[in-house]
Chain A
Amino acid sequence: MAYEVVLVDTWVSMFGMRVRIALAEKGIKYEYKEEDLCNKSKLLLKINPIYKKIPVLIHNGKPVCESLIIVQYIDEVWNDRSPLMPSDPYPRACARFWADFVDKRVYDVAKKVWTTKGEEQEAAKKEFIETLQILERQLGDHPYFGGERFGFVDLSLITFYSWFYAYETFGNFSIEAECPKIIAWAKRCLQKDSVANTLPDQKKVYEYVVQMRKRFGVE
């Protein structure tokens, strides 16, 4: 049976995980295609010629690229269940702002934590913790960034949790010691099936990062 929804992704990508959580929240059946990013498929190059990156959602043959754009698309098409975005324009703008903050600030600095050494790594660790502390303040006393319910911002950030063990091990630091609220929030999110069934095991991600560090020549 041909699925009308196909996701081209790679298991370890925190961006791909966002889309998988969104699809799970909406109960959408889809075909999953795992990409080998060292040997990109013709399909990927055809459906995302601009960036040649995953994730790409293909819906009825038409591709949608960029994880946060894909999640908003899913929310708008399957708008009869489990809303991911707030319905009111102001909270929606705030949700977009904070998801954009995660995109602008978390990925690059977190990558430096496992790809650099010495002073550069120390600076990256500091910035990473400061970024998470800004997010902790934004969370405040709410159970989720979305308020009472898991939403767009939670979805955009929780996927990085699967990489925390790798960051902590290579950075030689404890995220929980610095940002206990974020860890508590993450564990709360993991009580949701859509999140628990999507996030890969932290040790598996760590092993992947070990391989990547060898490839990038970081020892």
Chain B
Amino acid sequence: MADEVVLLDFWPSMFGMRVRIALAEKGIKYEYKDEDLRNKSPLLLEMNPIHKKIPVLIHNGKPVCESLIIVQYIDEVWKDRCPLLPIDPYQRAHSRFWADFVDKKVIEVLMKISTTKGEEKEAGKMEFFEIFKILEGELGDKPYFGGGTFGFVDLSLIPYYSWFYAIETIGELNIEAECPKIVAWAKKCLQKETVAKTLPDQKKVYEYVEQMRKKFGND
């Protein structure tokens, strides 16, 4: 019986991009449904009644929610190819820790930079660089966070790269100047087809963010 895989998502969502990259890495065919988040579909509300958020993976009719949980699910079900998490339990715990760090820290600081002004925005910018310098420290001299191969932590972070132009323009900052290793790492990830085909164009994301800022009166 063929697997039926549906992804409820929203094109600029860095969380959704994680799942799209994972599905591409595993070569899984799926139906993509783009949600209008101002007008959530009955399907989304049925599949994720708790958080009412995307992404949601629906596998043979059963929903899985929360991007990092979905990615681990994909890795465990389609375990015969392209492992996304390390095999060794310690390395797995290490990967989970850093993906969780990305989840805890990055989106919050992005929101701060895009929705505040003055001193609060400046504080947000400083915090952004602190977080990315910590990530640079963790990357070290490795090609990927996963070591020699692209893995769970790389996947959890790389979608934010599609937001860099928006952050730099709105935040008036230069990420490459402060965090050259992160930008070099991102460009290396983009050499992978799965990443290059998933990440939207940075200018498109910027236009979307600007629209949102106007809507919420943040410009």
Contact = CB atoms under 8 A, between A and B. Distances in A.
Bound pair (A, B): yes
B73 A69 contact: no
Interface of A: 50, 59, 62, 64-66, 69-70, 72-73, 76-77, 89-90, 92-94, 96-97, 100-101, 134
A90 B50 contact: no
B133 interface: no
A73 B93 contact: yes
A92 B76 contact: yes
Nearest to B104: A51
A-side interface mostly: helix
Interface string B91-108: 011001100110000000
A93 B93 contact: no
Given A89-B73, A90-B62, A92-B76, A76 B89 contact: yes
B76 A134 contact: no
Contacts of A101: 50
A26 B192 CA distance: 41
Contacts of A50: 101, 134
B210 to A, nearest CB: 29
B101 to A, nearest CB: 7
B69 interface: yes
Interface string B48-69: 0010000000010010111001
A97 B65 contact: yes
B194 interface: no
B133 to A, nearest CB: 12
Interface in B128-171: 134
B70 interface: yes
A70 B89 CA distance: 10
B146 to A, nearest CB: 17
Contact of B96 (A69, A77, A93, A94): A69
A66 B77 CA distance: 25
Contacts of B76: 89, 92
Contact of B66 (A62, A65, A76, A97): A97
B69 A70 contact: no
19 contacts: A59-B90, A62-B90, A64-B90, A64-B93, A69-B93, A69-B96, A72-B93, A73-B89, A73-B93, A89-B77, A90-B64, A90-B73, A93-B64, A93-B69, A94-B64, A96-B66, A97-B66, A97-B69, A101-B50
